[in-house]
Amino acid sequence: MMYKETNTRSIAKGFSWRFFATSVTVIIVYLFFGRLDLAIAAGVIETISKVLLYYAHERIWQRILWGKKKIEPFNLWFTGLPLSGKSTIADLVFEKLKKYHIPIERIDSKDIRDLIPDIGYSRDDRNRHMHRIGHLIKTLQNNSISTVASFVSPYRESRKAIRKMVKNNVVVYVKANIETCKARDYKGVYAKALRGELQNFSGVNDVYEEPIRAEITIDTDTMETEEAAELIVRYLKKNYIKI
């Protein structure tokens, strides 16, 4: 497990338990005997003897694995045209998920190169690259780590390959008008592609195959980033994040 319980936590649990348990004892003794002095005496004796016992009991259970369940990881897979807003929404979702304290890793096309080198932009190269990323996600999932991944991933076949490799795959299609993306072109990549300086650029000189069965579709023409992120988090809470 990713976290272990500290001694301090076990002690704190002992005291918090004792507070509630002794209150119940005091109430019961008072109800039965109608005597406050007896009730308080019972409370004092119980407190002293049980705090230590509770602590020992906690530490013993720390060593027992039975009844612990591996957390089920999910993979949130953002796909869409370059500059459609995938990374921005994915970053916000990742931020919002922090408060649930689930083990989770952010994987973005621009960061992944340190780990898995880009090998090219032909269909075959892209599919091979996707396959490697699927492998990474699988390795993380083996260890209960969920993932928030954002990749253009323009081909149906490679998204399908990812879906087959990982579990609890949630495809988020970030749908944006190609004209909107071009207008947003702060990196100048669309301009380059349109001038023919970038080959195999999805949406310009290579195809982007729209997902047919995305779990979630975000239409960026009608939905703000904040609203989209909230919608995705709600979907995850409903289906995968169980506390």
Please identify, using beta-carbon distances, which residue of 132 and 156 lies nearer to a second copy. Answer: 132
Q: Which residues contact 135 (CB under 8 A, 6 or more apart)?
A: 165
Q: Taking CB under 8 A as the rule, does residue 61 contact a second copy? A: yes
Q: Taking CB under 8 A as the rule, does residue 105 contact a second copy? A: yes
- State the residue for tokens 């023409």: 221
Q: Taking CB under 8 A as the rule, does residue 12 contact a second copy? A: yes
Please identify, using beta-carbon distances, which residue of 57 and 163 lies nearer to a second copy. Answer: 57
Query: In whole angstroms, what is the distance from residue 44 CA to residue 192 CA?
Result: 79
Q: Taking CB under 8 A as the rule, does residue 114 contact a second copy? A: yes
Please identify, using beta-carbon distances, which residue of 125 and 157 lies nearer to a second copy. Answer: 125
Cβ-defined contacts of 157-161 (< 8 Å, 24+):
157/127, 158/126, 158/127, 158/130, 158/131, 159/77, 159/79, 159/130, 159/211, 161/127, 161/130, 161/131, 161/134
- State the residue for tokens 């003897």: 49
Count of residues making up the chain: 243
Q: Taking CB under 8 A as the rule, does residue 24 contact a second copy? A: yes
Q: Taking CB under 8 A as the rule, does residue 65 contact a second copy? A: yes
- State the residue for tokens 């169980």: 242
CA atoms within 13 A on the CB side of 131: 8
Q: Taking CB under 8 A as the rule, does residue 239 contact a second copy? A: no
Pairing of strands 75-79, 169-175: parallel
Q: Taking CB under 8 A as the rule, does residue 103 contact a second copy? A: yes
- Taking a C-beta distance cutoff of 8 angstroms, is the pair 153, 207 a contact? no
49, 122, 199, 205: residue in contact with a second copy (rule CB under 8 A): 49
Q: Taking CB under 8 A as the rule, does residue 116 contact a second copy? A: yes
Q: Taking CB under 8 A as the rule, does residue 91 contact a second copy? A: no
Nearest to 73 by CA among 35, 104, 31: 104
71, 92, 161, 178: residue in contact with a second copy (rule CB under 8 A): 71
Taking CB under 8 A as the binding criterion, the range among 113-121, 173-181, 191-199, 201-209 that sits at the site for a second copy is: 113-121
For the question of residue 153 being annotated catalytic, the response is: yes
Instruction: List residues binding a second copy (CB under 8 A).
Output: 1-6, 8-10, 12-13, 16-17, 20-21, 24-25, 28, 45-46, 49-50, 53-54, 57, 61-63, 65-71, 101, 103, 105, 114-117, 119, 131-132, 135-136, 139-140, 142-145, 243
Catalytic residue numbers, as ranges: 153
